[in-house]
Copies of this chain bind each other. A is one copy, B any other.
């Protein structure tokens, strides 16, 4: 327990729970981190696919970014409305379930679970990517560094999220500050040099073009670039955390976040074109992230560079952390509706949904290991989940307005319909464009997860049906059980068992298994030590049954006998008394056969409603 306390903090009483409410400025790091940090991998993901086009690719980043920004603005207006309509927090799962039905809710649930796991995996791997750009010698430890960060995040999160607010603030503003400075300085230099600025440190030369531009390629680049939009739904999920006036504060926060994201994405795109910065081959030696090249080109390789890269690493790791906050809440909501195992809504010692965290860590770790911790390989799986959730959320909002028909519902429905259509089309584009590269994994996972969740629900429903008891206690035919005691020899254990049996029932059968290996019958001893004293006291004498076992099995004959008795006495309960030696040290168990435990297990597996097991422990050394 002490190690647990040290690592994860002392257990918290239920009464220690408290709400924490934030204003719009404090809300930016908490809810904007995920969205803003996407700027660190979204443009890079797009540029990586443009490598084969050489210089032309770098030119193309501006129009493609423009398309993404238009989509972003549409989604922004859409989510503004969700915030107003669901001030208690409107995650895609809730909105889809309430408005589109359970099926759409499950689809959203599956999409979101995948999205959160990928948020964690991509955040960590992109952070490590930034680190590798600064310290290339760490390249060979990519996966190890990823897993290290995952472990650190796990420990922090198992301690609880009470104090993470402040921890978020500094790196987020550092990240924003450094990037904005780079963008402002870069644009200034570019304008001053008539669009041809001289880089402080020249980026690696762009490779010669090896492919020609095609619509297919543009779609793929757009799909990858869309990962820059992931995380914008965070504010609408957490409206409840804002200070009064809740909705207004939340909307203001969302607006600021989207505005900042637009500045970052547009700034990065323009600077890349002006400075001629393209992506380098990820996972290969000499890899340098786009933001690292950009910082070098605009600001040089000094202290500012390292502060920038450090803040990127921190922000990306912390953006993974938002998955730690959201995934367990999501699985809890799903589990409350019986679609996931109920452990997901059991609160751990620190008032957290520990099982949700455990599931997230396991799956994220698995993903990082499978893909070697390289962001570029994870990107194709990523956007699908996020955009599917966007689409379902917006579509749900459309239905919501149709049902509510409040003032101005038509306009609102139209805004959300545009959002749903735009994100829906994007989902399809991403699915098709990235199918071969990895989107097929997501496409397979979603229906499998839905199938599993439906099975889980079905199980819980059947358990509920089987165990719910509308009737009051029935007093019909309450009678003592028929007691069966397996007896090895006359010992203190068998005496204890027999005394207990005599206390609860008059129908007792002792069974003894003879394996024909020279063990003498216990009949005489039984007669003398058991039957005789009972007879003298005028009490009923238990029957002793000798079972033959030609193959030396002991448990089989006992089990068969119990089941026979169960058949022979319909409606009667059979209580099997299992005397068991309890040793003081675990290793002493090696010196005793585990027949008692095996018998208990067999009776449970092969038995039925009328067979009960009574465990009679015998503690060695009388403790």
Q: Scan residues 515-532 of chain A and give those whose CB is less than 8 A from a CB of chain B.
A: 515-517, 528-530, 532
Q: Mark A497-518, 1 if CB is under 8 A from B, else 0.
A: 0111011110000000001110
Give the shortest distance, in Å, between A579 (CB) and chain B (any CB).
10
**Would A533 and B613 be within 8 Å (CB), given that A349-B551, A480-B504 are in contact?**
no
A504 B505 Cβ-Cβ under 8 A: yes
A472 B551 Cβ-Cβ under 8 A: no
Q: Mark A468-485, 1 if CB is under 8 A from B, else 0.
A: 110111110011110000
A492 B467 Cβ-Cβ under 8 A: yes
Q: Does residue A451 face the partner (Cβ distance < 8 Å to B)?
A: no
Residues of B within 8 A of A15 (CB): 516, 550
The segment from A44-52, A92-100, A211-219, A587-595 found at the interface with B is A587-595
In the complex, A13→B500 CA distance in Å?
36
- The residue that A604 contacts in the complex, of B14, B459, B504, B615, with Cβ under 8 A, is B615
A623 B600 Cβ-Cβ under 8 A: no
B349 A462 Cβ-Cβ under 8 A: no
Q: Mark A324-349, 1 if CB is under 8 A from B, else 0.
A: 00000000000000000111001101
In the complex, A591→B493 CA distance in Å?
37
A475 B591 Cβ-Cβ under 8 A: no
In the complex, A459→B347 CA distance in Å?
43
Q: Does residue A210 face the partner (Cβ distance < 8 Å to B)?
A: no
Q: Mark A538-575, 1 if CB is under 8 A from B, else 0.
A: 01000000000011100000000000000000000101
A611 B604 Cβ-Cβ under 8 A: no
**Would A609 and B619 be within 8 Å (CB), given that A467-B491, A503-B481 are in contact?**
yes
Residues of B within 8 A of A306 (CB): none
A469 B456 Cβ-Cβ under 8 A: no
Residues of B within 8 A of A469 (CB): 490-492, 494-495, 529
Give the shortest distance, in Å, between A69 (CB) and chain B (any CB).
45
Q: Does residue A616 face the partner (Cβ distance < 8 Å to B)?
A: yes
**Would A590 and B539 be within 8 Å (CB), given that A474-B499, A612-B614, A613-B614 are in contact?**
no
- The residue that A478 contacts in the complex, of B463, B467, B502, B622, with Cβ under 8 A, is B502
Residues of B within 8 A of A618 (CB): 466-467, 609
A14 B552 Cβ-Cβ under 8 A: yes
In the complex, A623→B588 CA distance in Å?
37
A473 B530 Cβ-Cβ under 8 A: yes
A551 — nearest CB in chain B belongs to which residue?
A: B11
In the complex, A581→B464 CA distance in Å?
11
Copies in the complex: 2
Residues of B within 8 A of A539 (CB): 475
B481 A467 Cβ-Cβ under 8 A: no
In the complex, A13→B515 CA distance in Å?
10
Q: Scan residues 576-618 of chain A and give those whose CB is less than 8 A from a CB of chain B.
A: 580-582, 588, 590-593, 600, 604, 607-609, 611-618
Q: Does residue A152 face the partner (Cβ distance < 8 Å to B)?
A: no
Q: Does residue A537 face the partner (Cβ distance < 8 Å to B)?
A: yes
B529 A473 Cβ-Cβ under 8 A: yes
Give the shortest distance, in Å, between A541 (CB) and chain B (any CB).
11
Q: Scan residues 226-273 of chain A and give those whose CB is less than 8 A from a CB of chain B.
A: none
Q: Does residue A534 face the partner (Cβ distance < 8 Å to B)?
A: yes
Residues of B within 8 A of A403 (CB): none
**Would A463 and B14 be within 8 Å (CB), given that A478-B503, A503-B481 are in contact?**
no
Q: Mark A341-374, 1 if CB is under 8 A from B, else 0.
A: 1110011010000000000000000000000000
Q: Does residue A621 face the partner (Cβ distance < 8 Å to B)?
A: yes
- The residue that A612 contacts in the complex, of B349, B459, B474, B615, with Cβ under 8 A, is B615
Residues of B within 8 A of A588 (CB): 459
Q: Does residue A460 face the partner (Cβ distance < 8 Å to B)?
A: yes
**Would A515 and B14 be within 8 Å (CB), given that A468-B492, A612-B615, A615-B614 are in contact?**
yes
Q: Does residue A135 face the partner (Cβ distance < 8 Å to B)?
A: no
B622 A617 Cβ-Cβ under 8 A: no
Q: Does residue A406 face the partner (Cβ distance < 8 Å to B)?
A: no
In the complex, A527→B67 CA distance in Å?
67
Residues of B within 8 A of A591 (CB): 341-342, 456, 459-460
Residues of B within 8 A of A613 (CB): 614-615, 617
- The residue that A623 contacts in the complex, of B551, B593, B608, with Cβ under 8 A, is B608
**Would A503 and B475 be within 8 Å (CB), given that A14-B551, A341-B591, A456-B591 are in contact?**
no
Residues of B within 8 A of A496 (CB): 609
B462 A621 Cβ-Cβ under 8 A: yes
Q: Does residue A3 face the partner (Cβ distance < 8 Å to B)?
A: no
In the complex, A591→B464 CA distance in Å?
13
**Would A534 and B473 be within 8 Å (CB), given that A505-B504, A600-B615 are in contact?**
yes
A549 — nearest CB in chain B belongs to which residue?
A: B14
Q: Does residue A436 face the partner (Cβ distance < 8 Å to B)?
A: no
In the complex, A537→B15 CA distance in Å?
42
A623 — nearest CB in chain B belongs to which residue?
A: B608
Q: Does residue A192 face the partner (Cβ distance < 8 Å to B)?
A: no
B347 A529 Cβ-Cβ under 8 A: no
A338 — nearest CB in chain B belongs to which residue?
A: B591
**7 additional contacts, CB 8 Å, given A349-B551, A472-B528?**
A14-B551, A15-B550, A342-B593, A472-B533, A473-B498, A473-B530, A612-B616
Top-6 shortest CB links A-B: A504-B504, A472-B529, A13-B550, A613-B615, A14-B516, A467-B491
Return 6 A-B CB contacts under 8 Å, by A number.
A459-B588, A462-B620, A462-B621, A467-B493, A481-B500, A608-B623
